[in-house]
Amino acid sequence: MRYSQVFGNNTLRHNPTTAKSISYSLLLRGGYVRAIGSGLFALLPMGIRVMNNIKSIIRDEMEALGGQEMSLPLVVPYNLWKKTGRDKLVGKELVRFSDRAGHELVLSTSHLEPITQLARLSINSYRDFPRFLYQFEAKFRDEEKVKYGLFRSKEFTMKDAYSFHRSYVDLNNFFPKVFKAYRAIFENCGIETIVAESAVGSLSGDRAYEFLMPCSWGGNRIIRCSSCGYQANIDVAVGIKDKISEIPLDSEEVSTPGCSNIGALMEFLDVPAQRIAVTTLYRTIKGWALVTCRGDYEISIEKLSRLLEEPVVGAATDEEVDSMGLAPGFLFPSNEVTGFRFVIDDLVAESNNLIVGADKPDRHIVNANFGRDFESEIVGDIARIHADNKCIRCETMLEELPAIEVGNIFKLGDFYSRAIGLSYSEENGDVAYPHMGSYGIGLGRLMSAVVEANHDERGIKWPRSLAPYKFFLMGIGKSFRVKNVVESLSEELGSDVLFDDRHESVGVKFKDFDLLGIPFRIVVSTKSLQDGNVEFYERETEKTWRVPLEMVVKTCRALISEDI
């Protein structure tokens, strides 16, 4: 391909101010992507070539596991979401609209409901297992904040895959195979990932794992133990929390005017956060719950959902608290007034002499103790671990690591098949429900992660497997001989070469080669041709070497098959 003809060959010299991550900045500068709206992106021809390489790596791994490609529309009937109850769990990120005939539709943020519906039409018997389906399909999430280019966009393409099994045991046996395939995919794409147990979130499944790549601006937080190797997403990580063991003192109600938030209360009473037990009202999918956690810890919605065995939607607003006859900011850890379930974090139960709300405005109780001043049957670990807590296995100090998520896998069990009504006849005639797994990789996100992990100050360094072109070819000097050689090499190397035939200086071409991240540069110059050679340069190793003209094509073939 002649670079002069490539759509998007107007590379940018400097980092655009709009780009908040180095990967987005380099992808913009190199002419791989362009924004056409907030969180809406076009892939330019160079970007498509990288994306097709990513798809090909993924497709190979999916097919090797018996994966069959299919495709679902982005727009699906809303009633499928109502069947699983996820219509209530998913908020504004799900775009809902009605067509002119009045059908309620959504822009899919995931395809769990429609794939289960589709399976209903094709899986009927115990003979129809296992099935493993995948697609490369657009999703749309109306994100509150779009960021980092393709990393968090509104419309994005995912490889999503779904497996259907006759039993939970079969799902458990299949699951590690996908796990291994994911490892291979990320390795082949040139990134190193950490696998961490993660939140199930609004997917309502049994178990979930994330493939995470450490990254300074990553929004995911991994808790890990450098000693025993324990690692998990902060939403589900466990650790030894710091309890406060003291002799219980007499409790006392005190005036705390205006102290409806922990900051104000700490200042007014001059106490540290760990002295305070904060009570919050949460809405779950089935009702309400009052939840108490120590002030130096955050509540993990995921842990809380698991403890309650029902999905938690979010915290109530002050207006909602008020309308229930409670005092916002001064909640007491009890359900006496409301009859709501009351949940306390085990650390609150194990700490003495805490400060709690007094259930009336501008009043708190000091020296409150669990079992004496308040009580509950629902006690468990619902707090996010800190980096300075200790490992529950080996008591080493834990670490916290920012990371970005590049893939996730879920054991869904039979939640979706039961909700959507995907049943089949067992060998003995019984009606049964398949167990499902779901496996996702965001393609734009993966492409960003690859650049994040493979670049230097001059530009991208694509792994050979993903590079849009393997070779960047250019001539130096205007001699007829040089021109002839580059033209004929360009033809011989065909679709593997990007031939920079632009009317630009050598310096500009060198800079663009570095920016684009193509693995090898081939320079034909009057000087090198005097000895019958051309010059090879490898972007990754910065090695330069000379190759006799007649050996160039053979050398390129060997480089492609990675023999050298």
Footprint of a second copy on this chain (CB under 8 A)? 4-10, 31, 34, 36-38, 40-45, 47-48, 51, 66, 68-77, 80, 92, 95, 97, 99-101, 103, 105, 107, 114, 117-119, 121-124, 127, 131, 133, 138, 140, 142, 144, 154-155
**Alpha carbon 291 to its chain's center:** 28
Residue closer to a second copy, measured from CB, 36 or 247: 36
Q: Tokens at residue 319, please? A: 């207006």
Smallest distance from a second copy to CB 487, Å: 17
Q: Please answer whether residues 353 and 249 qualify as being in contact, where contact means their C-beta atoms are separated by less than 8 angstroms.
A: yes
Cis amide leading into 402 (omega within 30): no
Q: Nearest 5°: phi and psi at 3? A: -65, -30
For tokens 């230097």, the residue is: 456
DSSP 13-63: SS--TT--SHHHHHHHHTTSEEEEETTEEEE-HHHHHHHHHHHHHHHHHHH
Smallest distance from a second copy to CB 381, Å: 33
Smallest distance from a second copy to CB 284, Å: 23
Smallest distance from a second copy to CB 250, Å: 50
Residue closer to a second copy, measured from CB, 157 or 369: 157
Smallest distance from a second copy to CB 1, Å: 9
Residue closer to a second copy, measured from CB, 73 or 421: 73
Q: Tokens at residue 537, please? A: 């340069």
- Return all residues near 507 (Cβ < 8 A) that are at least 6 apart: none
C-alpha separations of 91 from 94, 95, 405, 467, 563 in Å = 6, 9, 21, 38, 52
Sheet with 363-368: strands ordered across: 252-255, 363-368, 354-357
Three-state secondary structure string covering 498-547: EECCCCCCHHHHHHHHHHHCCCEEEEEEHHHHHCCEEEEEECCCCCEEEE
Q: Are strands 544-548 and 533-538 parallel, antiparallel or unpaired?
A: antiparallel
Residue closer to a second copy, measured from CB, 288 or 439: 439
Smallest distance from a second copy to CB 68, Å: 4
What DSSP state is assigned to residue 362?
T
Residue closer to a second copy, measured from CB, 40 or 228: 40
Length of the chain: 564
d(CA 258, CA 256): 6
Residue closer to a second copy, measured from CB, 98 or 226: 98
Smallest distance from a second copy to CB 312, Å: 22
Smallest distance from a second copy to CB 8, Å: 5
- Return all residues near 440 (Cβ < 8 A) that are at least 6 apart: 110, 158, 159, 160, 161, 407, 408, 409
Residue closer to a second copy, measured from CB, 10 or 428: 10
* Among the listed residues 7, 47, 26, 136, the one whose alpha carbon sits nearest the alpha carbon of residue 468: 47
Residue closer to a second copy, measured from CB, 4 or 323: 4
Smallest distance from a second copy to CB 11, Å: 11
Residue closer to a second copy, measured from CB, 144 or 377: 144
* Among the listed residues 393, 289, 275, 264, the one whose alpha carbon sits nearest the alpha carbon of residue 340: 289
Residue closer to a second copy, measured from CB, 128 or 320: 128
Smallest distance from a second copy to CB 522, Å: 22
Residue closer to a second copy, measured from CB, 34 or 177: 34
Smallest distance from a second copy to CB 356, Å: 36
Sheet with 378-380: strands ordered across: 312-315, 277-284, 288-294, 341-345, 378-380
